[in-house]
Amino acid sequence: MGASDSPPNRSGPRAPRVALDAKDVLAAYRRWAAIYDTAFGKVSAPARRRAVALVNRLPGRRVLEMGVGTGLALPLYAAEKRVVGVDLSGAMLAHARNRVVGRGLANVEALLEMDAEATAFADGSFDIAVAMFVASVVPHPRRLVAEMRRVVVPRGQILFINHFAARSGPRWWAEWALAPASRALGWHPDFAIEALLSAEERARAALTPAPPAGLFTLVQMTND
C-alpha cells in the first residue's frame, strides 16, 4: 500500500501506509545491529521483562523466540526454559550469539538464521512462542501468527509484545505522519493490531498494556 497525503478514515483500512519486504528488513537491521541495544534497549526493557516474566510462569519448557534480534531477552529466561531463537538478520544474530557466549547462557539451545514466517520446525515443536517487537516488522504479520500457531503444541501459548497504533488523538496523528519513514526505521509506526490478528483471534486474546505508559501491549493467546 503506498503512502497518501491525508490520514485514512479511522474505520478505514488498517494496513500500514508503507510495505516492508524481507530485503528492506535485512537492510534496516544491518544498519541497526551495532546501535540497536543503545538506541532501543532502554525504552523496550520494561515491556520485554514483562513478556519474559510471563513466559517463565507458563508451563512447558520449550520456548521459541521469533525475531530474537540481538538477544536482549535471552538472559531473562528462567534456567529451566530451553530457548531457540530465530531471526532473518545475520547481523542482529551475531550480537545475540556474542551475548550467549559472554553470559554463558546454557539454556539457549540454538540461534538460527531463519524466516519467522516460514520456519523449518515440525508442527508442535514448542510449548511457547514469543515475538517481541517483531510483529510490526515482518513483511506478513498474519503469516507470523500462522507459523507460531503451527509450531506450538495445542493448548500451548503464543505471546507478542508490540507497539500498536493508537485509534485516535495526537498519538494516532504522529504515528500516521511517521509511517512514510517505515523502511528507514525498519518497523511500522502505524501498525494496527488488526493487521496481526483476525477478529476471531482478537476476541480470544488477552491484551494488557505494558510500560512505558501503555506504549506497548502484551498479547497472550492459547493455541488451539
Site for ligand SAM in 121-180 (CB under 6 A): 132-134, 137-138
State the cell numbers at 110.
Answer: 540454538
| Distance in Å, CB of 24 to ligand SAM, minimum | 9
Binding mask 27-56 for ligand SAM (x = CB under 6 A): --x--------------x---x--------
| Distance in Å, CB of 92 to ligand SAM, minimum | 4
If the CB atoms of residues 161 and 205 are measured against ligand SAM, the closer one turns out to be 161
Sequence-distant (6+) residues with CB within 8 A of 27 are none
* 126 C-beta neighbours (distance < 10 Å), count: 26
Give the binding range for ligand SAM (CB under 6 A) out of 8-16, 85-93, 121-129, 207-215: 85-93
Report in angstroms the alpha-carbon separations of 166 from 21, 170, 172. Answer: 24, 9, 5
- Name the H helices within the chain: 22-32, 36-57, 90-103, 141-151, 169-178, 182-185, 199-204
| Distance in Å, CB of 116 to ligand SAM, minimum | 3
Among 74, 108, 116, 197, binds ligand SAM (CB under 6 A): 116
If the CB atoms of residues 87 and 190 are measured against ligand SAM, the closer one turns out to be 87
In angstroms, the CA 112 to CA 90 distance is 9
39-53 burial code (b ≥16 CB/10 A, e <16): ebeeebbebbbbbbe
Question: Shortest CA distance to 94 belongs to which of 36, 23, 33, 39?
Answer: 33
Binding mask 91-110 for ligand SAM (x = CB under 6 A): -x------------------
If the CB atoms of residues 25 and 197 are measured against ligand SAM, the closer one turns out to be 25
| Distance in Å, CB of 101 to ligand SAM, minimum | 18
Among 18, 25, 64, 193, binds ligand SAM (CB under 6 A): 25
| Distance in Å, CB of 114 to ligand SAM, minimum | 7
Total binding residues toward ligand SAM, as defined by CB under 6 A: 23
Could you give the dihedral angle defined by the CA atoms of residues 64, 68, 73 and 79, in that order, rounded to the nearest 10 degrees?
A: 40
Work out whether strand 126-132 and strand 206-210 pair parallel, antiparallel, or are unpaired: unpaired
**Site residues for ligand SAM per CB under 6 A:** 25, 29, 44, 48, 67-69, 72-73, 86-89, 92, 115-117, 132-134, 137-138, 187
